[in-house]
């Protein structure tokens, strides 16, 4: 994992099981060494979709997104932007 990722958030190591054909497609798409990042981003997107779909009012859904975003300092945001990671 890259340093900015470790600085911005705590990391929990997990073990998952998936069918071989899904794993092979994942490796092909994400590339070796980038599977963790790919799965994390896909999971975050799915979680966000699920949370938003629970809200019926579109304005309420939009405002609710703020509480799920990481709380970063201006310095951390600028550092991530400079590294091209955001």
**pLDDT digits (tens), the chain, 86 positions:** 455 555 556 888 899 999 999 999 999 999 888 999 999 999 988 888 777 676 667 777 777 777 777 778 888 888 888 887 54
Instruction: Give the pLDDT of residue 16.
Output: 92
Instruction: Give the pLDDT of residue 35.
Output: 92
Instruction: Give the pLDDT of residue 86.
Output: 46
Residues contacting 48, CB < 8 A, separation 6+ = 65, 68
Instruction: Give the pLDDT of residue 1.
Output: 45
Tokens representing 26 are: 């994942």
pTM score > 0.85 for this model? no
Q: How many helices and strands in the chain, by DSSP H and E? A: 5, 0
């Amino acid at each position: 994992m890259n340093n900015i990722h470790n600085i911005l958030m705590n990391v929990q190591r997990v073990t998952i099981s998936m069918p071989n054909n899904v794993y092979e497609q994942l490796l092909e798409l994400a590339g070796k060494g980038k599977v963790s990042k790919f799965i994390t981003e896909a999971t975050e997107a799915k979680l966000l979709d699920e949370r938003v779909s629970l809200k019926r009012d579109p304005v309420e859904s939009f405002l609710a997104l703020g509480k799920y975003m990481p709380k970063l300092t201006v310095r951390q945001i600028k550092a991530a932007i400079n590294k091209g990671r955001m």
